[in-house]
Amino acid sequence: MDFDSPEEKEFPGLYASESTSKKSKEESDYSDGEHDKHSKKDSLLIGRRKDKKDKGKDRGYAALEGESSPEEELDTKSPSKSKKSKTFKFTSSKSKEKREKSRDKEKTDKELKQVEEEPQKDKDKAHEEKEHKKKDKERKEKDKKSEKKEKDKKEKKSKQAHQDDVSAEEALALGYPVFGVSVSLATERSRCHDGIDLPLVVRDCIDYLQEHCLKCEQIYKVEPIKTRLMHYKRLYNNREYDAEVDELNLPTACSLLKLFLRELPEPPLTTDLMARFEEVASHPEVTKQQEELQQLLEQLPKCNRTLLAWVLLHFDAVIQQERHNKLNAQSLAMLLSSTLQMSHRLMVALLCHCNQLFPDVKLIKYVPPLTSSSPKLPEKPDDIQTELRKQDSLLSQIHSEMNAGFITKKREEQLWEVQRIITQLKRKLKSFEKKQEKSIEELESTAIATTSPTAATLTTVPAPVPVATISEDTTDSKPPTNNKKKSIDLSAGVSVDEVSTTSVESRPQIDSPVAVPEFIIDKISGYVLLPKTNPHRDELLRLQIEYDELIAWQNELKARILSERNEVFRLKQLYDQKLQRQQATMAPVPQPTELPADGDYERVIEHYTRENALLEHKKQMLGMELKEEKRACIALQVELRMQQFQM
């Protein structure tokens, strides 16, 4: 297998040492965003070779931009080129005056030439050092690009700033690779924004193979063009991969996944546990084997476990299609066990049990956060929320990387774009909420009337405290409670405060109708009860209970929205009042009850509103979770009540 990256060949253990010994340091760097430290380390670690070869040129280039003399420039140029320009200078303008005049022009001219020259030079070098050819070229191209970019700006910037920028740009190309670092770092750097902690490159490869290639006979059997593979590696290392522009193909996806796994500095099963895994693999008893594997897997770091789960489940999907791709567990393990840095036997064992070992993992296709080129934003509030969370995750990653010194034009573009999408999504959500509010307002009166029979259930679920009020030392929170009371009064007059009493509450209501064997409408709950012999009894009952629970939930949410709205109204009034009072105090009219200085009111109100907004954001995040929990809760509630009717 000749997929080792050139870097590794040249500096054996380069990545390994970085990711193991410097791991903790780097991780802290990451969040700290100490730019200097990081770029220094960069040039030390990865750009070492670069330093040697390119620093001179870079320096010369930077000097060029200042007040450098022509001699200096010539030093940095290749001999052939410098000769040319010299002769050209003499023949074109023999008089000194002219020469001096043209010097300025010359300077800029040379710069451009130098930029052009670079690829040429590069080729020469490549002949000498075939091994480094690709990488060098890539880097050169990057440099060239960055230098061109810099050139546009340079007139605005001092020399110092320019050099800083160049080093920052280099850091991008080399500083935060995804390949060749530990699983946790790779996961952190190349995040999936839908909450699954898997390096994006692994996810993309698996997604692609799962979708297009499971039945292909070439799967894991063909090698891609090496330049293409390296191209993708670079794209992922630089976070420039765009599914729409560079679609993977079968050989590339297979090999990229293998490359990632092989370049991990530590086996995915970790060095510590490796021996024990191998031991278990040689265990003769199959059932025991599974148990022990399970135990060992639980000791793995979470990201390692996720990675293994995805990779193994994907491999399992491959061998499920043995008919088409002619790969079974044995042959696949033959091909890939070394990639996973484990023995053939262990891989077969893991493949054999993988469905039982990872029952919680499902291979879900990754839908990356939308970009401005995506057709359109989601319409439903739930979808908007999901998308918003993805975008938030992406945004925070961009920010943290930028703070750590990972700054490029492209990254900046992306920052603005993501921000724009978030703004649009938020506006959409807001307008949707407004619409909702309006329709609820219309429904309000009818809703209260119609739900009165089931209002008892409504009250059993405590309305979550409106978030806004937490930050307030509530002076008057009557509007929401008033509302509640209304519905309570309409019901049997039972007011229940705790959820735990729900089951106790409902039992007495239910007991009586069950005793009657005829078709009956339950007086208290209002349910249609069929005779016990009727086969549809359960189904009907279940539907009714479910209906009630859902209605209750709906009401609860409505009540909550109403209370929130009242809260907003109240806050606004409070704000207005204070504002008015403040104005009043500014005018010479003294306020009998309020004495503090004018500025205080505004500050107090501002403080509270700000707090509210922050909490509101948190609430949105929690809201989704709440909903899921609630759903589960309702399902259980239904079961519970079904049981009671059965008794």
Partner 1 sequence: MSKKPTAGPALHKVIMVGSGGVGKSALTLQFMYDEFVEDYEPTKADSYRKKVVLDGEEVQIDILDTAGQEDYAAIRDNYFRSGEGFLCVFSITDDESFQATQEFREQILRVKNDESIPFLLVGNKCDLNDKRKVPLNECQLRAQQWSVPYVETSAKTRENVDKVFFDLMREIRSRKTEDSKATSGRAKDRCKKRRLKCTLL
d(CA 408, CA 386): 28
Here the tokens at position 375 are 């057709």
Q: Binding to partner 1 by residue 80, rule CB under 8 A?
A: no
The piece of 74-82, 179-187, 244-252, 417-425 that touches partner 1 (CB under 8 A) is 417-425
Integer CA distances (angstroms), 217 to 249, 258, 339, 418, in order: 14, 17, 20, 40
Q: Binding to partner 1 by residue 613, rule CB under 8 A?
A: yes
Contacts of 365 (CB under 8 A, 6+ apart): 207, 210, 211
E strand or H helix at 18:
helix 14-21
Least distance (Å) between residue 42 CB and partner 1: 19
d(CA 273, CA 267): 10
Which residue lies nearer to partner 1 by CB, 219 or 370? 370
| Options 36, 322, 413, 444; binder of partner 1; rule CB under 8 A | 413
Here the tokens at position 493 are 């007059």
| Options 67, 152, 518, 625; binder of partner 1; rule CB under 8 A | 152
Handedness of CA 98, 103, 105, 106 (dihedral sign): positive
Q: What is the Cβ-side half-sphere exposure of residue 365, based on CA atoms within 13 angstroms?
A: 8
Which residue lies nearer to partner 1 by CB, 122 or 165? 165
254-273 burial string, b = 16+ CB within 10 Å, else e? bbbbbbbbbbbbbbbbbeeb
d(CA 8, CA 263): 9
Distance in Å from the first CA to the final CA of the chain:
68
| Options 4, 36, 109, 242; binder of partner 1; rule CB under 8 A | 109
Q: In the beta sheet, which residues pair with residue 521? A: 528
Quote the Cα angle for 32-35-37, to 5°. Answer: 90
The piece of 248-256, 289-297, 400-408, 550-558 that touches partner 1 (CB under 8 A) is 400-408
The piece of 154-162, 261-269, 486-494, 536-544 that touches partner 1 (CB under 8 A) is 154-162
Q: Binding to partner 1 by residue 95, rule CB under 8 A?
A: no
Q: How many helices (H) and strands (E) does the chain have?
A: 28, 2
Q: Binding to partner 1 by residue 402, rule CB under 8 A?
A: yes
| Options 24, 80, 91, 95; binder of partner 1; rule CB under 8 A | 91
Least distance (Å) between residue 613 CB and partner 1: 5
Least distance (Å) between residue 128 CB and partner 1: 29
Size of the site for partner 1 (CB under 8 A): 41
The piece of 22-30, 413-421, 477-485, 502-510 that touches partner 1 (CB under 8 A) is 413-421
Report yes or no: 228 and 212 within 8 Å, Cβ to Cβ: no
Q: Binding to partner 1 by residue 403, rule CB under 8 A?
A: yes
From the CA atom positions of the chain, what is the Rg in Å? Answer: 34
Q: 466 exposed, middle or buried (CB, 10 Å; 0-12, 13-18, 19+)?
A: buried
The piece of 274-282, 517-525, 539-547, 604-612 that touches partner 1 (CB under 8 A) is 604-612
Binding to partner 1 in span 273-312, by CB under 8 A: none
Query: The tokens 């030390």 sit on which residue?
Result: 44
- Closest by CA to 209, choosing from 249, 243, 246, is 249
Quote the Cα angle for 172-374-173, to 5°. Answer: 10
Least distance (Å) between residue 367 CB and partner 1: 17
- Closest by CA to 581, choosing from 561, 607, 608, 601, is 601
Per-residue string for binding with partner 1, 364-393, x by CB under 8 A? Answer: --------xxxxx-----------------
376, amino acid identity: K
Which residue lies nearer to partner 1 by CB, 158 or 534? 158
Least distance (Å) between residue 411 CB and partner 1: 9
Q: Binding to partner 1 by residue 423, rule CB under 8 A?
A: yes
- Closest by CA to 268, choosing from 186, 391, 333, 205, is 186
d(CA 538, CA 557): 28
Which residue lies nearer to partner 1 by CB, 48 or 89? 89
| Options 235, 415, 530, 604; binder of partner 1; rule CB under 8 A | 415
Least distance (Å) between residue 112 CB and partner 1: 5
Least distance (Å) between residue 419 CB and partner 1: 4
Report yes or no: 406 and 172 within 8 Å, Cβ to Cβ: yes
| Options 4, 416, 523, 528; binder of partner 1; rule CB under 8 A | 416
Q: Binding to partner 1 by residue 31, rule CB under 8 A?
A: no
Which residue lies nearer to partner 1 by CB, 197 or 417? 417
Which residue lies nearer to partner 1 by CB, 370 or 545? 370
Least distance (Å) between residue 149 CB and partner 1: 12
Which residue lies nearer to partner 1 by CB, 423 or 534? 423
By CB under 8 A, name the binding residues for partner 1. 88, 91-92, 105, 108-109, 112-113, 151-152, 155-158, 161, 372-376, 398-399, 402-403, 407, 412-413, 415-417, 419-420, 422-423, 426, 568, 572, 606, 609-610, 613
